Structure 1
Amino acid sequence: MDIFGIGPNGSVSDEEQWSLGLIGCWRLRRGMVDHIPSRREQRLIALLAFQGPMPRSTAARILWPEASKKQASGSLRISLCQVSRDLPGVLVAEFGRVGLAPDVRVDVQELRQQLSGTLEIEGAAAIACSHLLCHGEFLPGWYDDWVVEAQDEWRSVRTQALQQLAWRLFRLEDMYGAVEAARSAMEIDPLNEEAQRLAMQAQLAEGNYAEALRGYKDFSSRYREELGVAPSRGLADLLVTVPRSAERSHSLPVGARQAS
């Protein structure tokens, strides 16, 4: 997944610009040329790109948690030498600290910046943003402890951005876009009641009672199965506007109409 669709960053030319991708898969490119270092160097670069500069001892401990301090320090030194030789200009190591060079573009950082403008987009751009956020997993298939924590953090960032986008589109009366954004949030977090509420509100505003009822029924069943309790009463309260004729064609879970 490539989000480097914006202009060059800083004074570095396109041919010299390093671009690092961590969303979808790990990839490093300089200009139009891909570079594939060993997995050890990939892990080091990814860590520094996501967490920022840090003491060398901290990087060694995170990347080689089961090794002795001496072994971890040696492994880090080897990786730094390898990156310095094969990928000049990617890392900066000085004064006992190591970090990504400031000119390196990182998709996670740039997408975070773009999310600050998420509430200003609509139409086709909003739908594209929804799909990008929905499928933009951070380093899928990586299982380092720090990566798993970063994946959870990034998942939360994406979900929150999608909910904000859904609310904006709802207020703009773009109900289709609002439903798409809310559904994308639920693909990330299937038990996200706020996203389900947003989807139902948009569907009901359009008079799409069948979809709202079906969505409530599916969500309620999934919620009960996973958590052993029903969703909040507020979710069922939305169904008070559903005509009886629509309700009969999509039988509600027990208590849904009564709750409203």
Structure 2
Amino acid sequence: MLCPVLRRTAAGLCLFTEPHLAAGEQVRPVPPGSRRLVAFTALNGGRVERRQAAGTLWPIGDDVRAVGNLRSALWRLRAAGLEILDADKRQVWIRPGVRVDADLVTRWATRLVTGGSAHPATDEAYWWHCRPGLLPGWSDDWVVPHRERVRQRVLHAMEALARRLIAELDTGGAVAVARKVIAAEPLRESAHRILAEALQSGDRPAEAQAAYAAFHAAAGARFGPHAGATIRAVLAGPPPHRWLRPTT
């Protein structure tokens, strides 16, 4: 299926599924033997040293074998007719004109976090595009930090979007956005707080208090006395009605 955020891109690399190139309405999978090199290059600024890439991706064995594996990965990509990477004797880089969905997602999230306006259709498309996570199913040591960084950035962006919708008095939209974040991370205190604010602002104070009380119960059962500082502050804080904004 074509990546929605790359639908209008002449050549786009999708990393929220198994890596593939989206060109117009065509989807062309990256050969298995080249996927890790393509993803590693894309997630590290689009340009990497050959030695660094070879040593990270093929750490078992000697340098000669690792470099040979990298060379084979480049050859497989060219043999498949996929113009994603260029290389010289020192570096490998993403070809000019190839857009990476992870970069587009980061820009979208940054726009929301820095106060950009809501665009419901676009925001929804990006959210669903991100739901599988970056390179789902990959457990490589170099993948995990990138995946978590992007995930947290997206969740922060959705929280920022919910706050903006509250400010614009679209409390129903804010509730829907907050609940998406909670579904992705059930014990995320900030998302529960935003949900309660949205419900309260929408003249639904009973639902607001019930939602936040449910979070108190779940967090206490999960973390108990070993909860982190933020969770402890929530558990020890005043009842929800003390901080919830009164309706007018």
2:242 to 240, 243, 248: 240
Deviation at 1:126, TM superposition (A): 7.3
The worse-fitting range, judged by mean Cα deviation, of 218-227 and 148-157 is 218-227
Over residues 120-155 of structure 1, what are the superposed CA-to-partner deviations in whole Å (9 max), with x where a residue is unaligned? 344743762574376251111111111122111111
* Aligned equivalents of 1:130, 1:91: Cα separation in 2: 25
Q: How does 1:33-182 map to 2 (within 5 A)?
A: 33-51=26-44, 52-118=46-112, 119-122=115-118, 124-125=120-121, 128=124, 131-132=127-128, 135-182=131-178
Cα–Cα, structure 1 residues 190 and 130, in superposed 2: closer, same or farther, change >3 Å? farther
* Aligned equivalents of 2:37, 2:126: Cα separation in 1: 30
* Aligned equivalents of 1:236, 1:206: Cα separation in 2: 22
1:20 corresponds to which letter in structure 2? L
**Is the CA contact (8 Å cut-off) linking 1:2 and 1:21 kept in structure 2?**
no
1:187 corresponds to which letter in structure 2? A
Runs of 5+ unmatched residues, structure 2: 226-230
Query: TM-score scaled by structure 1?
Result: 0.78
* Aligned equivalents of 1:134, 1:73: Cα separation in 2: 33
Partner of 1:192: 188
Cα–Cα, structure 1 residues 57 and 134, in superposed 2: closer, same or farther, change >3 Å? closer
Look up the SS of the partner of 1:232 in the other structure.
Answer: helix
Over residues 80-100 of structure 1, what are the superposed CA-to-partner deviations in whole Å (9 max), with x where a residue is unaligned? 122123235311102401011
Runs of 5+ unmatched residues, structure 1: 9-16, 243-260
1:227 to 223, 230, 234: 223
CA RMSD of aligned residues (A): 2.6
**Is the CA contact (8 Å cut-off) linking 2:165 and 2:174 kept in structure 1?**
yes
1:31 corresponds to which letter in structure 2? G
Deviation at 1:57, TM superposition (A): 0.8
Identity %: 27
Query: TM-score scaled by structure 2?
Result: 0.82
Cα–Cα, structure 1 residues 123 and 151, in superposed 2: closer, same or farther, change >3 Å? closer
1:240 corresponds to which letter in structure 2? R
Deviation at 1:38, TM superposition (A): 2.7
Q: Which has the larger radius of gyration?
A: 1
1:39 corresponds to which letter in structure 2? P
The worse-fitting range, judged by mean Cα deviation, of 199-208 and 136-145 is 136-145
Deviation at 1:159, TM superposition (A): 1.2
**Is the CA contact (8 Å cut-off) linking 2:212 and 2:240 kept in structure 1?**
no
